[in-house]
Amino acid sequence: MSTNLYWEPAERKKRDAGDTDLKFALRKKYDSPVNTFLSSKDVSYLEGLTDAGVNAKNLIEAIEKHEVIHVTEE
């Protein structure tokens, strides 16, 4: 069964988080299905993913804008 990965500010509407590679990388760190809050402490990990070719820029930008985001897999 296929699932998608989403992020949202804690008090806003969900948005698509991106590709499957990002979903699988987040599963390794935060368990499956992904259901976690990300903040500035997670940015260096997300930058590392981006350096490794996994597009996590939209999550980094969301954290910079909203400070804390809720990432869920549904």
Note the pLDDT tens digit of each residue in 6-53. 877 766 666 677 788 999 999 999 999 999 999 999 999 999 999 999
Looking at the structure of the chain, the number of domains it has is 1
pLDDT of residue 7: 79
Domain that holds residue 52: 5-73
At residue 24, the pLDDT reads: 92
Number of Cα atoms under 13 Å in the Cβ half of residue 4: 7
- 3-class DSSP assignment, residue 22: helix
SS3 71: strand
Q: How confident is the model at residue 54 (pLDDT cuts 50, 70, 90)?
A: very high
Question: What pLDDT does residue 10 have?
Answer: 66
69-73: strand order across its sheet: 15-16, 5-9, 69-73, 35-38
Please tell me the distance from the alpha carbon of residue 33 to that of residue 27, in angstroms, as a whole number.
7
